[in-house]
Amino acid sequence: MSKYISCKGKIVTAAGTGINLALGVLYTWSIFKVAIKQSIETGGAGAFNWDLTSINDPYALCCLVFACTMILAGKCQDRLGPRITAFTGGILVGLGFIFISLTTSYFVWMLGFGVFIGTGIAFGYSSATPPALKWYPPAKTGKIAGIVVSGFGLASVYIAPLSQYLLSNWGLQGTMLFFGIAFFIVVSLLSMFLVNPPESYVAQGMTERRSNTQAGIKARVSFEEVNYTPQDMLKTHSFWMLWILYFIGAGAGLMVIGSVAGMAKSSMGSNAFLAVAIMSVGNAGGRIATGILSDKIGRTRTLASIFILQALMMFMAVPIVGAKAPNAALLVIIATFIGFNYGANLTLFPSFTKDFWGLKNFGVNYGLMFTAWGVGGFVMIKASQMLLAGTNTFTSSFIAAAVLLITGAGLSFFIKDRKEMARRETARQLATQSSLQCPPHAEPQKQTNKKPAPMIAPE
């Protein structure tokens, strides 16, 4: 039975990762953006007739819709289950791509890519992580969340070169049609493997932890069983502090991800897609690495470190992207590290949400938290494109993002890390329990009838 349970958890995790591998097509927008820009500049029959300042609009709207729809998608996941939710996402993403494959109209692309695909991604993404987390103990929250969401970041490794090949041979419209059919099939099939464990299920490792001292049990169990409703969560200061930090971290990363192919175009030419593919490795690696790290040293310490490192990368990027002929190798390295730090946000904030407010309403609760990702992306992507159109350089965008990240690093120290507090409380209780035991060769202590004081988990 234990082998079956272990296998089931791995299958659900693999299916969630696979769904995200398909939905991560969002991060290859910079490749589509280059093709649209070339079409605008070339002109002619069937060309895109858009304003250059509006090229990023479908991508920015997609990010915003993706984030805002996560609330509805999360509620659907909590009530109807991950299978139906993910299947719905597959249908919407497929329809969105097929829709935009038929026209070059700006408004149709805003509707198809921005609304349909954004909504579909939300339904698929919201149903990938929760069922996987439910099959594993809290000690593996960061690791499992990192693995599942790494699929979204890693998607560009195969989608970027595939997109470049399809664009060269089929054109932009044919490429969109291909993705519409392919992603509908893939997401719909993988959704069948997403299942929640039975209500009576206890993750392997929980029973082992509960066999420790009573002090350890009380501190851990009361921490794990915290479950907030969305209304109660919104009343906490922690939610709004984390929302602001998510806005900063996600916005700074999406600003670069949405334009990396354009940045690399002058130095890498037709191979600019490689910058997107390599950056996605950093994006995925950041999700897994920081998930594991945050399980060990705490979420807050990890978040502060990531923000400081991201700010440093932004400052280092200024002279590189500002050069007339940017060094391709340095550009790819900087973009990869920025992708790594950005990816960390997609692991840390769902882990924060689960730690602070529990799994019972995780879908809706994280959907509310995820609105920060969409608003941050929409604001900073749009601002970056406007600054680029006015100055023809990304310098101002990178400096502004760096200042915001430094501010965010300072704010992160005001967050009370519930996971770290619970760990410290458990360690303290275990140390107290150990000190009361008789040391070797010592005279036994006299027994008393006093009962130990009741343990209270940290709030």
Predicted confidence (pLDDT) at residue 410 exceeds the cutoff of 80: yes
Provide long-range contacts, Cβ within 8 A and 24+ apart, for 7-14: 8/135, 8/195, 8/197, 9/132, 9/135, 9/136, 11/193, 12/131, 12/132, 12/135, 12/193, 12/194, 12/195, 13/132, 13/135, 13/144, 13/147, 13/148, 14/193
Q: Quick one: average pLDDT of 382-404? A: 79
Q: What is the pLDDT of residue 225?
A: 58
Q: How many residues would you count in the chain?
A: 459
Predicted confidence (pLDDT) at residue 222 exceeds the cutoff of 70: no
Q: What is the pLDDT of residue 91?
A: 96
CB proximity list for 459: less than 8 A, separation 6 or greater: none
Quickly state the pLDDT bin for 160 (edges 50, 70, 90). Answer: confident
Quickly state the pLDDT bin for 78 (edges 50, 70, 90). Answer: confident
Predicted confidence (pLDDT) at residue 403 exceeds the cutoff of 60: yes
Q: What is the pLDDT of residue 317?
A: 83
Predicted confidence (pLDDT) at residue 130 exceeds the cutoff of 70: yes
Q: Each residue of 324-358: pLDDT tens digit? A: 667 778 888 888 888 899 889 989 999 999 889 98
Residue linked to tokens 């990396």: 260
Q: What is the mean pLDDT of the chain?
A: 82
Quickly state the pLDDT bin for 262 (edges 50, 70, 90). Answer: low
Q: Each residue of 288-324: pLDDT tens digit? A: 899 899 888 888 999 999 999 999 998 988 888 767 6
Q: What is the pLDDT of residue 140?
A: 86
Q: What is the pLDDT of residue 433?
A: 63
Q: Quick one: average pLDDT of 173-187? A: 95
Q: What is the pLDDT of residue 221?
A: 42
Q: What is the pLDDT of residue 58?
A: 92
Q: What percent of the chain has pLDDT over 90?
A: 39
Q: Which residue has the higher pLDDT, 397 or 394?
A: 397
Q: Where are the domains of the chain?
A: 8-194+212-423
Classify domain 8-194+212-423 at the CATH topology level: Growth Hormone; Chain: A; (1.20.1250)
d(CA 371, CA 303): 18
Query: What tokens appear for 47 in the block?
Result: 């060309």
d(CA 346, CA 341): 10
Nearest to 350 by CA among 116, 133, 122, 107: 133
Predicted confidence (pLDDT) at residue 426 exceeds the cutoff of 80: no
d(CA 249, CA 255): 10
Query: What tokens appear for 137 in the block?
Result: 């103990």
Quickly state the pLDDT bin for 385 (edges 50, 70, 90). Answer: confident
Q: Quick one: average pLDDT of 129-146? A: 87
d(CA 35, CA 31): 7
Q: Quick one: average pLDDT of 78-85? A: 92
Q: Quick one: average pLDDT of 351-375? A: 89
Give the CA angle between residues 217, 222, 227 to the nearest 5°. Answer: 150
Quickly state the pLDDT bin for 359 (edges 50, 70, 90). Answer: confident
Predicted confidence (pLDDT) at residue 142 exceeds the cutoff of 60: yes
The helix-helix angle for 237-257 and 362-391 (nearest 10°) equals 40
Q: What is the pLDDT of residue 386?
A: 79
What is the value of pTM for the model shown?
0.72
CB 141 within 8 A of CB 7: no
Q: Each residue of 28-66: pLDDT tens digit? A: 888 898 899 889 988 887 789 898 888 889 988 998 899
Q: What is the pLDDT of residue 209?
A: 45
Query: What tokens appear for 128 in the block?
Result: 């990938």
Return the minimum-mean-pLDDT range out of 141-150, 188-197, 210-219.
210-219
d(CA 203, CA 195): 15
Q: Which residue has the higher pLDDT, 421 or 252?
A: 252
